[in-house]
Structure 1
Amino acid sequence: MRFPLRLSLARVAIAIVLPLAALSSAWLAAPGAAHAQQMPSGAKQPGDFPRVKLTAGMFVIDAAVAANDPDREQGLMYRSQLASNEGMLFVFNENAVHCFWMKNTLIPLSIAFMRADGTVTDIDEMQAETTDNHCPRNNGVYALEMSKGWFTSKGIKPGMKIQGLPAPQ
């Protein structure tokens, strides 16, 4: 009589443990899966962008440069992190109002809009993975994206200048 009982207990244990294991695996995978997005083929890897060293007051910024349409369209999309003083500089060929959004951008960012002489005109905070428009009130030729809160934490405000900007083409 013991054998059937053991077999029944084993079956009960398997019937309980396997679904729980599958459930916990799905639960553990879900948080990463919700935020993981594959970089599409043809997209530039972060290290493939040209880079420039900028200064904002006493702070040195390591900025990837997006100076053509495909690079500006990709921007920081699909990135999951930035180093503490890392950002992306957008260089435009015309002095205009250039708006941004955060579609497929996985990390919250701050953006500073600048005139041709590097003067910051506007700073905005942007939430990850949203399609809200972020437009400056003033024309400019540069925009610099950094981790959310970077400009505030460094005391960078409109009217200050960013140095080391490459010339628009």
Structure 2
Amino acid sequence: MARRAVVALVGVIVALAVAVLALQTGLWVDVVGVGEYDRGTVTVTDSDNSTPCCTTTPTETTTAAPCTVPPNRTAVATCEGSRALGTVDVRIADTPRQRRLGLSDTESLGPNEGMLFVHDEEGEYGYVMRDMDFDIDIIFIDANRTITTIHHASKPPEGESYSQQYSGRGKYVLEVNRGWANRTGTSVGDTVELPAGVD
């Protein structure tokens, strides 16, 4: 009887150890999967929060004149004092599994592609370059859609899964190819127009 209890206890301890290991290493994401990503478009403008972002078509809720997005999707024309600096087609990571995986399974991004991470609330968050194959810009955006921090992050050194944490305050985090922020002139204080349905 005592022997069965010891075997059962050892079994529980081993199961807990495996569960902790799976959580810490992210293996649970490989087992469970991340599901389908929603997609959308993010536009960064040099306007303040009181000026509506440029829109490609006027709507009932916007007063801004319509803009034309050029084929390269950057350097959009000026609209009512605001100038769209760049537009990014994004996959939206809004579940814990999607945020954990991030761009780790992505080999590369197009010049105006990225991922938008959506958190439940604004706070201090740390991002790492877990198993990344390329360098990125990590752009933190607060609940008011204002950029608070921009990091230019390098992929981890050969043989390491990640080497540094990039921290900032925000509710949203935009990851794009490294150099995108410099190329478009995006900086702290700029305004971000999020995809429809993202809150």
Cα RMSD for the two superposed structures: 1.9
1:41-120 → structure 2 map (5 Å cutoff): 42-44=32-34, 48-57=36-45, 58=84, 59-120=86-147
How far has the Cα of 1:43 moved from its partner? 4.1
Residue 134, structure 1, aligned to residue 162, structure 2:
no
More strand by share: 2
Q: Distance in 1 between matches of 2:182 and 2:127?
A: 19
**Percentage of pairs with the same residue:** 25
Residue segments in structure 1 that go unaligned for 5+ positions in a row: 1-38
Q: Distance in 2 between matches of 1:135 and 1:93?
A: 17
> Structure 1 length as normaliser, TM-score?
0.69
Moved segments of 4+, more than 3 Å:
39-45, 165-168
Assess if the C-alpha contact under 8 Å between 1:87 and 1:145 holds in 2: yes
> Structure 2 length as normaliser, TM-score?
0.59
Partner of 2:187: 157
More helix by share: 1
Which AA in structure 2 matches 1:131? S
Q: Distance in 2 between matches of 1:158 and 1:131?
A: 25
- The number of residues matched between the two structures is 126
Q: CA deviation digits over 1:7-65, x for unaligned, max 9?
A: xxxxxxxxxxxxxxxxxxxxxxxxxxxxxxxx9465458xx411111111332210100
Q: Distance in 2 between matches of 1:126 and 1:148?
A: 7
Partner of 1:4: none
**Greater C-alpha radius of gyration:** 1
Residue segments in structure 2 that go unaligned for 5+ positions in a row: 1-28, 46-83, 157-161
Assess if the C-alpha contact under 8 Å between 1:43 and 1:74 holds in 2: no
